[in-house]
Amino acid sequence: MSGMRRNLPRFSQGFSVTYEGGCLCGAVRFEADGPLRAVLPCHCTQCRKVSGHFWAATSVPHDRFRLTRDDGLLWYRSSPAARRGFCGRCGATLFWQPEDEAHLSISPGAFDGDLRLACDPPIFTEDRGDYYSVEGPPPPPDPAPPGQLSGTCLCGACAFTLPGPAGPVTACHCDQCRRLSGYFAASFDTSETALNWLRREALAEFETPGGARRGFCRDCGSKLYFRAADGAFSVEAGIIDGKTGGRLAEHIYVAGKGTYYELTDGLPAYAGSGTLGTQA
């Protein structure tokens, strides 16, 4: 969101409401007193890498925000104009703090319960991934898909290559993915043995209660991959540099999606896991 176009803020109802939220593992918890600004989706490259798909944020003034637990909170200086806050234990993308501003941007997916916020028009849509459209159906398959993909975290401490193209991409709206990505996740299946790691000094993993492991960069918080308890493996689509050659194919766990966004692409949407294995 560095250098973003400033929109006049819209605020939700709930002036007297205190909202609570936190990361997936509980090492970061916070409170925010309403009203909250409308959710602003951002498709810039930075937001795509840290979230694994694209990010979004609501916002409150500093004097209406309180950290109630910050054991796991880390900050990454993503540009001269801003820094990004994430949990160093589970990798959840949480905050975006512009310099010299008295407001803090907060991931809507990190809040407990149903926010019922409005959603503003997206920004930096020209930087979106090639596998989805901002509104409407995803673009047609690339007639010249890439034969090799490159994945790099935002800070560059984790990097890998793997055979392309990405193929079908699945969007997941479960609570885990919403809390980790800040909005909702998107990934594509591949073989873990196909990854050729160029750098992984800062690679960290978080083990979920169900025995799955989620890989992220512990220096910048970028989302990297998901390894299910049964060994099934997927890579976050937003971490890929340039073209993926993939195409968004379906939405799963939509029963858990946020009420502040709608699905407008006409793709199959399953309340649970649909045709895929259960996330855990």
pLDDT band with cut points at 50, 70 and 90 for residue 200: very high
Which residues does 229 contact at the CB level (< 8 Å), separation at least 6? 210, 211, 212, 280
The helix/strand count (H/E) of the chain reads as 2, 19
Q: Is the dihedral of CA 101, 42, 45, 186 positive or negative?
A: positive
> Where in the chain are the domains?
18-110, 129-256
pLDDT of residue 171: 97
pLDDT band with cut points at 50, 70 and 90 for residue 15: low
Tens digit of each residue's pLDDT (9 = 90 or more) over 215-256: 999 999 999 999 999 999 999 999 999 999 999 999 999 999
Tens digit of each residue's pLDDT (9 = 90 or more) over 16-56: 799 999 999 999 999 999 999 999 999 999 999 999 999 99
First to last CA, the chain: 30
What are the residues facing 172 on neighbouring strands? 185, 252
Q: What is the DSSP letter of 63?
A: G
What's the CATH fold of domain 129-256? 2.170.150
**Closest to 249 in 3D by CA, of 178, 168, 183:** 168
Beginning with the edge strand found earlier in the chain, give each strand of the sheet holding 168-172 in spatial order.
Answer: 203-207, 213-217, 223-227, 233-236, 185-189, 168-172, 247-252
**Closest to 46 in 3D by CA, of 102, 12, 93, 11:** 93
* pLDDT at residue 4 tops 90: no
Q: Flag whether the pTM goes above 0.85.
A: yes
How would you label 142-167 residue by residue, b for 16+ Cβ within 10 Å and e otherwise? Answer: beebbeebbbbbbbebbbbbbebbbb
| Domain 18-110 identical in fold to domain 129-256 | yes
CATH class of 18-110: mainly beta
Size of the chain in residues: 280
